[in-house]
Amino acid sequence: MEYLASFIVFAVVTTASPGPNNIMILSSGINFGYKDSLPLLFGIIFGFPLMILIVGLGLGEMMSQWHWFHHALDVVGIAYLLVLAWKIAMAPPPSVDADRKPISLTSAIAIQWVNVKAWIMIVSAVGAYTTPANFYVELGIIVAGFFIVGIFNSSAWLFLAVNLTRFLKNDKAVRVFNIAMGLFLVTSVIPIMVSEYQRLMS
């Protein structure tokens, strides 16, 4: 029970804190509204636990043996998130660009695999909250825990975004918001960039 309580706290804090997923939800909610942001929301809610399951069942072992694969994945993930941050920051309001589309369900699921924060959360959770004797049961608890917690936390971020729209009543305000979200996304990636740089220099 102590381990379970500790894991729940870990899951709540990591999924509620600002990161690529929550910043994307916030940005999408502001720019496209609640209904059009649901595919992104569901992609995150289902995509992240699915990623935990796949990694826990085998990919994690491969990464522990092939360190270059882990580093390469970090580099690709950082590059993608920086491009995503640029796109968010430079995106015009929907009223200016009517052809803009929200992130789809499949894209949201795919984004999980280049989300560096997601990899850190998975490695930390599987490493800290599983034991060899009960690995599969504990992995199942981790998957279910992140799924349940993710429903509430991700939905809360979207609810926040929808309620923020009352304060962003013109295109200029939305542009400023998009730039701020792009910068926040870059900020969330900086610690990983520093870590990768230190690994290269060591």
Query: Rounded mean pLDDT of 71-76?
Result: 66
**CA angle, residues 94, 23, 128, in degrees to nearest 5:** 155
Q: What percent of the chain has pLDDT above 70?
A: 74
Q: What is the pLDDT of residues 3-57, one digit of tens each?
A: 778 788 888 888 887 778 888 898 889 888 899 999 999 999 999 999 999 888 8
State the pLDDT at residue 67: 61
Mean pLDDT score across all residues of the chain:
79
4-9: long-range contacts (C-beta < 8 A, 24 or more apart)? 4/141, 6/129, 7/125, 7/128, 7/129, 7/141, 7/142, 7/145, 8/145, 8/149
Query: Rounded mean pLDDT of 132-155?
Result: 89
Q: Which residue has the higher pLDDT, 171 or 147?
A: 147
Q: What is the pLDDT of residues 102-142, one digit of tens each?
A: 889 999 999 898 887 888 788 778 777 777 778 888 889 99
Q: What is the pTM of this model?
A: 0.72
Residue 73, token pair as written in the block: 């994945």
